């Protein structure tokens, strides 16, 4: 049973920013200990690749565009931009940071229901990903009830590939593919992109590059257009934990797990690469 907090964890200004602009920037929302704990988990996975089934998507370098299991990931990938997928399913530390008391209250307020982790990504560098909308890839069961967070472990500025975003773009009417849904149909993607670009121009939405410190959390609406800026100084890391949240009440209850601390998460991963856990 999840009770929405009686007192909002957000100020009136934060609620207005969220409603009008589709994002929030929480300063120092996680502690130095939590930053270290997440870093240690990533170190552990690199140090223990044997039989490790987590997927690593390589973004730059000789293996760019390839996906490996941790077990098979060439060691040089660590010096590139990459995404380590879905540690949340088996890792209590990742969940304890992604759904800390404060973040759980805030995600609960934004979703107006109990938040559930449906995906997590660990990065050591910026993704440099094109402008996109998360519901193209992992639409919530009811289409729109998704929020995402990038929990910064490093300082973020213009040179280490910050997230960029278009404030207010979450209000653009979603593009529906020919099956009526929000997930990408490849053959129709060019039309979708043209629609989104035309909307940005018509509404004259500015492009903002995020800047923040370690421990800051950038939260965005599942329909906000965003992406990763080019990395201008590749010697700098931009380690982060990105988490996508759905509402626990939106999925069949046999697919929701709650850990001992009552944190809800999907019992399987959306790409199905890990053995599901018992709900």
Ligand X SMILES: O=C(O)CCC(=O)C(=O)O
Give residues in contact with ligand X (CB under 6 A): 121, 123, 126-127, 129, 134, 148, 150, 163, 226-228, 240, 242
Shortest-Cβ-distance residue relative to ligand X: 228
Instruction: Report the alpha-carbon distance of residue 244 to residue 140 in Å, rounded.
Output: 10
Q: Smaller CB distance to ligand X: residue 232 or 258?
A: 232
Least Cα distance to 88 among 56, 18, 41, 39 occurs for 41
Instruction: Give the DSSP per-residue string, 143-190.
Output: BS--EEEEEESS-B-TTB--EEE-TTGGGSPPPP-TTS-SS--GGGHH
Q: Smaller CB distance to ligand X: residue 49 or 130?
A: 130
State in angstroms the smallest separation of the CB of 60 from ligand X.
Answer: 12
Q: Smaller CB distance to ligand X: residue 16 or 232?
A: 232
State in angstroms the smallest separation of the CB of 2 from ligand X.
Answer: 25
Task: Identify each DSSP E strand in the chain by its residue range.
Answer: 23-26, 55-58, 67-69, 82-85, 115-123, 147-152, 163-165, 208-209, 217-221, 226-228, 240-247, 256-258, 264-266
Q: Smaller CB distance to ligand X: residue 3 or 130?
A: 130
Q: Smaller CB distance to ligand X: residue 63 or 165?
A: 165
State in angstroms the smallest separation of the CB of 121 from ligand X.
Answer: 6
To 10 degrees, the CA torsion angle through 220, 223, 224, 225? 140
Beta bridge partners of 189: none
State in angstroms the smallest separation of the CB of 166 from ligand X.
Answer: 13
State in angstroms the smallest separation of the CB of 126 from ligand X.
Answer: 5
């Amino acid at each position: 049973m999840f009770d929405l907090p009686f007192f909002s964890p957000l100020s009136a200004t934060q609620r207005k920013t969220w409603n009008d602009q589709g994002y929030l920037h929480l300063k120092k929302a996680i502690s130095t200990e939590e930053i270290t704990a997440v870093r240690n988990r990533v170190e552990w996975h690199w140090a223990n690749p044997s039989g490790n089934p987590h997927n690593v998507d390589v973004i730059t370098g000789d293996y760019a565009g390839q996906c490996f299991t941790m077990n098979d990931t060439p060691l040089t990938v660590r010096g590139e931009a990459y995404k380590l997928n879905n540690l949340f399913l088996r890792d209590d530390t990742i969940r304890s940071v992604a759904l800390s008391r404060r973040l759980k209250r805030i995600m609960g307020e934004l979703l107006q229901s109990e938040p559930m982790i449906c995906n997590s990504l660990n990065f050591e560098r910026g993704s440099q990903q094109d402008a996109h909308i998360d519901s193209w890839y992992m639409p919530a069961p009811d289409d729109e009830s998704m929020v995402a967070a990038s929990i910064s472990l490093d300082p973020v500025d213009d040179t280490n590939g910050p997230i960029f975003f278009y404030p207010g773009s979450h209000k653009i009417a979603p593009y529906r593919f020919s099956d009526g849904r929000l997930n990408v149909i490849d053959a129709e993607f060019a039309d979708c992109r043209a629609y989104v670009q035309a909307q940005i121009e018509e509404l004259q939405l500015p492009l903002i590059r995020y800047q923040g410190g370690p421990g800051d959390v950038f939260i965005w609406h599942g329909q906000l257009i965003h992406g990763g800026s080019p990395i201008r100084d590749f010697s700098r890391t931009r380690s982060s934990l990105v988490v996508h949240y759905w509402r626990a009440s939106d999925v069949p209850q046999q697919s929701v797990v709650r850990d001992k601390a009552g944190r809800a998460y999907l019992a399987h991963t959306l790409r199905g690469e890990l053995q599901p856990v018992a709900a």
